[in-house]
Amino acid sequence: MQAEIITIGDEILIGQTIDSNSAWIAGELNKAGIRVSRINSIADEASAINAGLDESLGRVDLVLMTGGLGPTADDITKKTLADYFGMPLVMNEEVLADIRGFFDRIGKPMLEMNEQQAMLPAGAHIVRNRKGTASGMWFEKEGKVLISMPGVPYEMVHLMESGFMDMIESRFRRGHVFHRTVMTFGQGESFIADTVKDWEAGLASTGVKLAYLPSPGIVKMRLSAFGDDSEELERKVMDQAIALERLIPDIVYGYDDETLEAVVAGLLKEKGKTISAAESCTGGYISHLLTSIPGSSDYLEGGLCTYSYASKTELLGVDSEIIKEKGAVSEEVVIAMAEGCRKLYQTDIAIAVSGIAGPSGGTPDKPVGTVWMAVAHEDGMFTHCFHFGRDRMRNIRMTALHALNEVRRILLARG
Amino acid sequence: MQAEIITIGDEILIGQTIDSNSAWIAGELNKAGIRVSRINSIADEASAINAGLDESLGRVDLVLMTGGLGPTADDITKKTLADYFGMPLVMNEEVLADIRGFFDRIGKPMLEMNEQQAMLPAGAHIVRNRKGTASGMWFEKEGKVLISMPGVPYEMVHLMESGFMDMIESRFRRGHVFHRTVMTFGQGESFIADTVKDWEAGLASTGVKLAYLPSPGIVKMRLSAFGDDSEELERKVMDQAIALERLIPDIVYGYDDETLEAVVAGLLKEKGKTISAAESCTGGYISHLLTSIPGSSDYLEGGLCTYSYASKTELLGVDSEIIKEKGAVSEEVVIAMAEGCRKLYQTDIAIAVSGIAGPSGGTPDKPVGTVWMAVAHEDGMFTHCFHFGRDRMRNIRMTALHALNEVRRILLARG
């Protein structure tokens, strides 16, 4: 079973908005054993929408469309769809009541253009939207299904979860898919591929597919199998995942899109340990990652963004002579920061980082991208100097990921 | 002049990766007056690639393709393209030397599969990749151009900036485009549309197009015009942007994709003011946003992630009796946090937030999404209680944006 996704909106085509909806929809369909064979982003124009519908409905039986349903005048999708499927727009009183209720709840007046959003194609199955004013629509024609949803991500997710996924599964679900993604940190794609090449060569005969999904610092290795027997699929994919992990045990940090911060959070909770962070070049990003996980108050005592010299010396007790002598970006300073942070917050583990995130601020002996890191813990002190590149946001993110990975290793080493 | 983008890779179609490359490419082409009419994400299979090429090259004269050029066995794009354009793969000695140099620089051994990346289609124009091992390729056939680039974002950006954009402009540039995006914060799309509806109705006759681009908290209003006379385009778009801003002056915070943090950073630098933040529910995200801007050490003295009670009382001097009596999420506590933070860091402005980010931790009188905010400044203290929703990351982000917006208003009010 294959499906296509169509996203509508000039904002994607001029590059002002990144299409995150399609990835989410594709992931959900995949779990249901439906493979997305194409994603198409097209213009907010009737001719482009009609052509896109003809093509996609010509290739597959299920097409999901997002975008173009806002109340403002630049959205023409609903009218175009009604014409395409030959359905007149009629007032839907239930939806009108929903929209009235929505504006009551947010305490704002309902406008004429919002009322128009209750004009819906007669004959389309409507999925009501509790988080916004644009309804979900399910059109059928000659055995093919088109679903139209608003482009606001949390409204789209709400409509999929509260209605469309069930309708899709009961209508289309055939066959099964099983994925297992092995998450690695710290080695490049080609280095990993060389390490596992004999195993990978033997993979074809097992019916399990492998894909490498690299991003800065992290390579996801996705194992997939499609077929009818869901238990057999799971067994053969998991067997290969175990075989893979035996080849690269040091770099595997988790599975199935787990983030490093989620893995570290899980280990901290499991082992009953606490953590704090003193961040110079990362400016709060490590604390942000750690607090992005629900329940983070169980293990995070606090964090400091120590941008100024004074905040290093006064709050963390770093000796100002050391900063003068060695510079703020030095092993001695991050050690003192980590010790000071661990003492201040009374935590089991404390991270400290100091570096030159860029684009300016580099010197010949400490160019942009130079980062010193220390992790103070019950058994000692880890330190390392990294040399990243010139991109500020990448340097911040790579520093944070390396810090989290070191915390992970320290927690695992204690058994 | 129209172009299409094709992204290759199962990782996009199964939803493990969001396609951010296409947005970047579309934005760059747009600046050069080239309109992206479609973005197509297709599978990493020869049949899908061939069909995608036939379709896109049938519709437009320029197609940009990303992905599928990695060294590992799952990437078949280069071979498929060479066959499609009838070009044999031959060893490119210059590129081979580049790849050798790349592995020397990163201090890792070059593998057989990396050497294979120097096998390139004879007849394609090659743009050398200084940031990775997959080359950029420019194919021509019957007046149509196909560009192939690796999917790693910073490698793709490097190839576009160091070669392909110049080649595209000299080959295809005709006509002009001018965009002006008015950035607003704090009002919904339909409320804005109602406020400006008379002006919007008159827009059609001017040749300027308007699009609303909503995201949580922010609505971007993009004005565009296409034509031959670049000065006339700019004049008529800017005239309308000024007319629009007069209708909604309170909510306009910037232009052309400026972020709130960049605007606040600019104002702090311009006025020579300093800032600090004490963050409970946002856990470092406000500091992270402020330090994401280059040169942030000019204005950010430091930040505290005050997750624990102790860090509120000991570091910020919040009276523990107040926390006991009023609760950590209260006006009294955020006022004391903001005052303590401003004193600790000796800054002109200090932000303090405390709330229940969720998904757990809510109570009947303080449900998930309740956030108290205080901003201490030279002329007084701003406080406000927000009621966001149940989504943790959205609550964190909305809180941070509201805090930055309040700082912006305070800085502007002082003139």
For position B311, what pLDDT does the model report?
Answer: 80
Which of A13, A224, A226, A256 would you mutate first to test chain B, the one with the most B CBs within 10 A? A13
The DSSP line for A154-193 is: HHHHHHIIIIIHHHHHHHH--SEEEEEEEEEESS-HHHHH
Given a cut of 50, the residues of chain B with pLDDT beneath it are none
Average pLDDT of the residues in A273-290: 96
Residue B72: list chain A partners with CB under 8 A.
189-190, 193, 212
Residue A415's pLDDT band, with cuts at 50, 70 and 90, is: low
Residue closest to B290 by CA, chosen among B303, B309, B280, B307 = B303
Cβ <8 Å between A291 and B283: yes
Q: From the CA of B17, how many Å to the nearest CA of chain A?
A: 7
Q: From the CA of A41, how many Å to the nearest CA of chain B?
A: 5
- Non-local (6+) Cβ contacts of B235 within 8 A are none
Cβ <8 Å between A15 and B36: yes
B47's enclosing H/E stretch is helix B46-59
Whether the per-residue pLDDT at A373 is higher than 80: the answer is yes
Give the nearest partner residue to B108 out of A26, A191, A305, using CB atoms: A191
Give per-residue pLDDT as tens, A153-192.
Answer: 989 999 999 999 999 988 987 778 888 999 999 998 889 9
Q: What is the biggest distance separating any 2 CA atoms in chain A, rounded to whole angstroms?
A: 79
Give per-residue pLDDT as tens, B107-133.
Answer: 778 888 888 999 999 999 999 998 888
Fold of B2-172: Molybdenum Cofactor Biosythetic Enzyme; Chain A (3.40.980)
- Non-local (6+) Cβ contacts of A168 within 8 A are A29, A32, A34, A62, A145, A147
> Taking CA B122 as the corner, what is the angle to CA B116 and CA B127, rounded to the nearest 5 degrees?
75
d(CA B9, CA A40): 14
- Non-local (6+) Cβ contacts of B6 within 8 A are B39, B40, B41, B42, B52, B53, B56, B63, B64, B65, B66
Cβ <8 Å between A38 and B39: no
Q: Considering the entire predicted model, what is its pTM?
A: 0.82
- 3-state secondary structure (DSSP) of residue B203: coil
Chain pair A-B, CB pairs under 8 angstroms: 317
Residue A191: list chain B partners with CB under 8 A.
108, 111
Residue A72: list chain B partners with CB under 8 A.
189-190, 193, 212
Give the phi and the psi of residue B42 in degrees, each rounded to 5.
Answer: -130, 170
Closest residue in chain B to residue A304, using alpha carbons only = B304
Cβ <8 Å between B257 and A16: yes
Whether the per-residue pLDDT at A106 is higher than 80: the answer is no
Residue A357: list chain B partners with CB under 8 A.
291
How many helices (H) and strands (E) in chain B? 18, 17
Cβ <8 Å between A287 and B305: yes
d(CA A82, CA A289): 45
- Yes or no: domain A176-255 corresponds to CATH 3.40.50.1820: no
Give per-residue pLDDT as tens, B336-368.
Answer: 999 999 999 999 999 999 999 998 889 999 999
Domain residue ranges in chain A: 2-172, 176-255, 260-413
Give per-residue pLDDT as tens, B227-275.
Answer: 889 899 999 999 999 999 999 999 999 999 899 999 999 999 999 999 9
Residue A73's pLDDT band, with cuts at 50, 70 and 90, is: low
Residue A11: list chain B partners with CB under 8 A.
211, 213, 220, 222
Phi-psi region of B283 (alpha: psi -120 to 50; beta: other; left: phi over 0): left
Average pLDDT of the residues in A303-308: 88
Cβ <8 Å between B307 and A300: yes
For position B204, what pLDDT does the model report?
Answer: 86
Residue type, B231: E
Give the nearest partner residue to A16 out of B12, B200, B220, using CB atoms: B220
Q: Which CATH superfamily is domain A260-413 in?
A: CinA-like (3.90.950.20)
Whether the per-residue pLDDT at A369 is higher than 90: the answer is yes
User: ipTM score here?
Assistant: 0.80
Residue A282's pLDDT band, with cuts at 50, 70 and 90, is: very high
Give the total residue count for chain B. 415
For position A71, what pLDDT does the model report?
Answer: 72
Task: Give the strand pairing for A144-149 and A136-141.
Answer: antiparallel
Quick one: B286 exposed, middle or buried, by C-beta within 10 A (0-12, 13-18, 19+)?
buried
Whether the per-residue pLDDT at A31 is higher than 80: the answer is no
Cβ <8 Å between A302 and B300: no
Cβ <8 Å between B19 and A19: yes
A47-51, A275-279, A292-296, B386-390: which range is least confident on average?
B386-390
Residue A133: list chain B partners with CB under 8 A.
190
Give the nearest partner residue to B23 out of A17, A295, A391, using CB atoms: A17
Cβ <8 Å between A17 and B213: yes
d(CA B86, CA B121): 9
Average pLDDT of the residues in A341-348: 95
Bridge partners of B176? B227
